[in-house]
Structure 1
Amino acid sequence: MIGLVYAGGKSSRFGKDKATYRVPGLPATNVQLAVEKLTPLCQRIVVCANEINQAHIVKLVGQVPAVQIICDIPPYDCHGPLSAIIACTNQFSIAQDYLTLAVDYPYITKNSLAVLARTSSSYIATSQHNHYSLAHFSISNEQVTTWVDNNDDWRLRSFITNKCVCHPLTYRSSNEFSNLNYREVDLNEK
């Protein structure tokens, strides 16, 4: 299984790069936490960074065995998580199993990721939100690029539910599934 870490977002609402940010009270940066949680579950981990944070991410996790750091590839760049999926799948010649994790879920537990890893064609959901960036699916680069080229649909939700035919793996709502969107709110909640 390949772990895919979404770390290339602009973090415009958050105000700082989420991937390289260290949440007060947590032992490492968000990208380090994501890699550490995926390591026991995946043979290889691909971190999709952006041109701005790539060098910093290389310093943080570039020396970890089995970790590869990439950026989006033209002409499929700058379209969010689907750009990362295209760049990641481009590294492999055939379809692979992927376990995806966005860096803005620093509280997710290894246990929840392990259950997701054992449940193919799934994504994590709670009563409050569907977490499409926490997913497990099998896909090839050709399948992803054909989907985008034929549908011109860059929404992760559409891809996960319609193309990958993933089903919700339902959990109770908890802090574990909190998504870092606004730094002020997240800091005040802790």
Structure 2
Amino acid sequence: MMEFTHLEKKAEQIVPKMVDVSSKHITTRVARARSIVYLPDAIIEALASKSNEHSAATTAELYTPKGPVFQTAIIAGTMAVKKNYELIPFCHQIPIESCRFNIDLNRDGHVVIECESKSSAKTGVEMEALTGASVAALTIYDMCKAYSSDIVIKEVRLLEKSGGKRDYHWCRDKLMGLVLAGGKSSRMGEDKTQIAYHGQAKTQLQVCCDLLSSVGINNENIFISCRKEQAHEDKFAGKNLLLDDDDNPQWEKVEGPLKGILSAKKKMPVSNGGIIVLAIDLPYMNQENVDLLMKEYDDTKMATSFYNREKKWCEPLCAIYSHHYFKVVNDFIERDGNKCPRKILSRLDSLGLVKRVIPTEEKIISNVNTPSEKEQVR
């Protein structure tokens, strides 16, 4: 029979109780939650001019007669995080050491709210993060309701938590990892998958696989993308191979990295999942930055990609493509004849459909394709 942690038997009655956490150890707990609010076009149009009058060009904010919408939501959400124990029965009062919000307004009218809470405590902090994200969403509703009653709070979910009995990251089981290794290495003059950089014994192929594994992608969901004629090469022994799909008539003239990415869709763990792509010619890439990409992943966008500020483009060879991407990419190929993954990603970015991530250093996303570039890495 199931035992209930918040109920106990006293005499002939079952009464509620708070769980005793006195025997637990204090650890640093971090949780991040997300809520999404849809604002109809009527609100965006009504508030656009007011927002331009009040805010700098670099600031994403909406203004109503009540005041700045997102700033007010952050204040309300922070208050909710601190008072969570008064709102949710049996939640413990814990010291909130950090509370941060990030609010983005997408071009399609979706406001994405993320709340991160941190505490050194004996119990988790995910309810605080969820409550903060929820109250921030309700505050946005309240600030904008005079303009429309068609506002929808579409989602409240935990994104990740750490420091407790079980860590959790919502997207890792939904993602597959794809190492792009199908190139011919003609400019390099040697097989790029077999180069060992930074004095390591590991080949670049193994480094890429290990990077994807280190951020929590299940090994059975990590694939090597290659051409069919490469499949029997010794370097791929024991690896999960994903061969280019040459049977799809839509992709008849598609080749290179884009074909590998498109061919991977059939291997996604779930239909609403995504693919984290890593090319073998990015030897500066490290765990810190792959972790950063994972943390910033936004599945409401077509893709989440590192942004090259110098060249002003999104890097398609180290990115996470959500399931939404595969619903539109064929249109780009058929309508525009566009088969370049960078151009497709740039077009989506211009429409506000790509989440930009800034790497810790610009060189992290540098492609290395020639012997002279290789020597600089060493």
Q: TM-score range by the shorter chain?
A: 0.7 to 0.9
CA contact (8 A) 1:73 1:83 kept: yes
| Per-residue deviation, 1:83 | 0.1
CA distance in 2, matches of 1:134, 1:166: 13
Comparing both structures, which one devotes a greater share of its residues to strand? 2
Name 2:323's counterpart in structure 1. 139
Name 2:225's counterpart in structure 1. 48
CA contact (8 A) 1:108 1:176 kept: yes
Unaligned residue ranges in structure 2 (runs of 5+): 1-174, 298-302
Name 1:11's counterpart in structure 2. 185
2:296 maps to 1:124? no
1:98 aligned to which of 275, 278, 301: 275
Name 1:162's counterpart in structure 2. 347
How far does the alpha carbon of each residue in 1:149-177 deviate from its partner, in whole angstroms, 9 at most, with x for none? Answer: 33321111233243582232113545433
Please tell me the residue identity of whatever aligns with 1:20: Q
Deviation larger for 23-32 or 36-45: 23-32
CA distance in 1, matches of 2:208, 2:365: 13
CA distance in 1, matches of 2:320, 2:259: 17
Please tell me the residue identity of whatever aligns with 1:185: E
Q: TM-score, normalised by structure 1?
A: 0.81
SS in 1 for 2:214: coil
Please tell me the residue identity of whatever aligns with 1:37: L
CA contact (8 A) 1:48 1:84 kept: yes
When the two chains are superposed, the root-mean-square deviation of aligned CA atoms in Å is: 2.6
CA contact (8 A) 2:304 2:356 kept: yes
Aligned length: 184
CA contact (8 A) 2:289 2:360 kept: no
CA distance in 2, matches of 1:53, 1:79: 15
Q: TM-score, normalised by structure 2?
A: 0.44
CA distance in 2, matches of 1:118, 1:112: 10
1:87 aligned to which of 248, 263, 276: 263
Name 1:28's counterpart in structure 2. 202
CA distance in 1, matches of 2:261, 2:244: 9
CA distance in 2, matches of 1:39, 1:33: 10
| Per-residue deviation, 1:114 | 0.8
CA distance in 1, matches of 2:346, 2:289: 20
CA contact (8 A) 2:197 2:377 kept: no
Name 1:70's counterpart in structure 2. 242
- Going from structure 1 to structure 2, the CA distance change for 1:52 and 1:183 (only over 3 Å counts) comes to farther
SS in 2 for 1:90: helix
Taking only the aligned residue pairs, the percentage that are identical comes to: 20
CA distance in 2, matches of 1:125, 1:148: 23
CA contact (8 A) 1:161 1:167 kept: no
Comparing both chains, which one has the higher relative contact order based on Cα–Cα distances under 8 Å and sequence gaps of 6 or more? 1
CA contact (8 A) 2:176 2:267 kept: no
How far does the alpha carbon of each residue in 1:94-114 deviate from its partner, in whole angstroms, 9 at most, with x for none? Answer: 242111110011221111001
| Per-residue deviation, 1:48 | 0.2
| Per-residue deviation, 1:46 | 1.6
- Going from structure 1 to structure 2, the CA distance change for 1:168 and 1:176 (only over 3 Å counts) comes to same
SS in 2 for 1:3: strand
Deviation larger for 21-30 or 38-47: 21-30
CA distance in 2, matches of 1:142, 1:72: 19
1:58 aligned to which of 236, 244, 247: 236
Deviation larger for 39-48 or 87-96: 87-96
| Per-residue deviation, 1:13 | 1.1
CA distance in 2, matches of 1:188, 1:4: 26
Higher CA-based Rg: 2
